[in-house]
């Protein structure tokens, strides 16, 4: 399906690798267990993208710290209904997952 993918993605070449490719300078998308690497040279300013990702990571870490503090508060844990505590735990887990993904993206931009 090389021709169809090239046409739909509006790219001139599509390289299919058997093993992992070098993600440096690429955007990564995982689809059904396959890594799709999109070279960003000339398309994306790496410094601006690092700044954007760093800002988003800082905001997420601040939000995660707030949720951690709430879950560490014995008064909150004693008084809050179990569904609220569970909601806080799920939100913290989601924030931690997003932070890990952003860190990985930042590492790949380095």
Distance CA 27, CA 16 (A): 16
62 lies in the same domain as 101: yes
First to last CA, the chain: 33
pLDDT at position 46 is 81
Distance CA 105, CA 54 (A): 10
pLDDT at position 82 is 96
Number of domains within the chain: 2
- Higher-pLDDT residue of 102, 18: 102
58 lies in the same domain as 35: no
pLDDT at position 54 is 94
Question: Please, what sign has the CA dihedral across residues 14, 18, 21, 26?
Answer: positive
pTM of the shown model: 0.67
Among 108, 103, 2, 110, CA closest to 53: 103
The 10s digit of each residue's pLDDT in 19-74 is: 666 767 677 766 676 777 777 777 778 888 889 999 999 999 999 999 999 999 99
Distance CA 15, CA 34 (A): 13
Q: What CA–CA distances, in Å, run from 14 to 19, 30, 35, 73?
A: 15, 16, 13, 53
Span 5-13, average pLDDT: 79
pLDDT at position 21 is 67
32 lies in the same domain as 60: no
- Containing domain of residue 52, as a range? 46-109
pLDDT at position 30 is 67
30 lies in the same domain as 51: no
Distance CA 91, CA 89 (A): 5
pLDDT at position 20 is 67
Query: Which CATH number does the domain housing residue 56 bear?
Result: 1.10.287.380
pLDDT at position 85 is 97
- Higher-pLDDT residue of 26, 79: 79
């Amino acid at each position: 399906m090389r021709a169809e993918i090239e046409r739909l993605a509006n790219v001139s070449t599509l390289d299919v690798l058997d093993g992992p490719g070098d993600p440096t300078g690429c955007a990564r998308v995982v689809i059904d267990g396959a890594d799709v690497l999109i070279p960003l040279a000339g398309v994306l300013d790496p410094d601006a993208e690092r700044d954007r990702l760093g800002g988003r990571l800082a905001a997420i870490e601040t939000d995660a710290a707030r949720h951690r503090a709430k879950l560490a508060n014995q008064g909150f844990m004693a008084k809050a209904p179990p569904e609220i505590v569970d909601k806080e735990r799920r939100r913290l887990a989601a924030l931690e997952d997003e932070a890990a993904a952003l860190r990985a993206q930042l590492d790949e931009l380095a």
